[in-house]
Amino acid sequence: MRLKDKVILITGSYTGIGKAIAQSCLREGAKVILNGLDHEAGLALYTEIGPEKSSMCTLDITQEGAPEKLVGLAVEKFGSLDAVVNNAALIASSNILDTDSKLFHEVLGVNLVAPMAIIRKALPALKKSKGCVLNIGSINAWGGEPNLLAYSISKGALMTLTRNLGDSLFREFGVRVNQINPGWVLTENEKLKKKEQGMKADWYRDIPDIFAPAKRIFTPEEIAAAALFLLSDESGPVSAQVMDLEQFPMIGRNLPKNWEGSHQS
């Protein structure tokens, strides 16, 4: 097993990409600390996994003392901590006209400040285990969309944090730090959000190839497969790297000749 007996803390793991990463880690022999805000969803997942291989902590990662609670739970329950997956995120639609200071700080708090705080608190344990950190970013880190201003900025900053710590922490302590930037992923929340926006229930079955050359978008399990590589010893000394998981180049994309304009679904 690729993650046998490793203890992994995964924020935002009650649903979506985080849940898929947790389930993949478990299949590879890991023990997981689950976290999220939807307590019922978390309890269902925890009940499915069982107390021998998991523990759960329902809390907002920005609240005071959250990093201490999460890291403390891992060490108290399983005696060590081998990896942190910073997956929890706040996705808020906003542009330059409606991104006020309050919203901006809220988005940065969840997507940047809290992950850094968790890394700081986890560092003593990760130093002992020569562990690693995996940050889940977004392809929006490269510029983003006009209506995802605050979110895009936060993910760009997270990418800089990853490259900076991936170098300094690996050199000094042997702790690797990497990041995955997913493209468009078919999570349950994404299905619901698009339906609420007026799209048909099975909108994801008919996606124009301008947005997805494969005519489908990623599954959470496909993101989790990449996460397993970066969390496992198979990735060796890989650190300070950002893996873009998208179907087309983020820079220098060749658009169809009949494509006029540019927009993101």
107 Cβ neighbours under 8 A, 6+ residues apart:
90, 92, 94, 150, 151, 153, 154
Using alpha carbons only, what angle is made at residue 33 by residues 243 and 107, rounded to the nearest 5 degrees? Answer: 55
Yes or no: say if 55 and 77 are a contact pair by the CB < 8 Å rule.
yes
State how beta strands 176-182 and 242-245 pair: parallel
Find the farthest-apart pair of alpha carbons in the chain and give their distance in angstroms, rounded: 59
Which residue in 14, 46, 151, 204 is the catalytic one? 151
| Angstrom distance (rounded) from CA 235 to CA 251 | 26
| Angstrom distance (rounded) from CA 162 to CA 156 | 10
Does 14 qualify as catalytic in the annotation?
A: no
Q: Which amino acid is at 125?
A: A
| Angstrom distance (rounded) from CA 54 to CA 59 | 16
| Angstrom distance (rounded) from CA 52 to CA 248 | 41
225 Cβ neighbours under 8 A, 6+ residues apart:
24
Helices and strands in the chain: count of H runs, count of E runs: 8, 7
Catalytic residues: 151
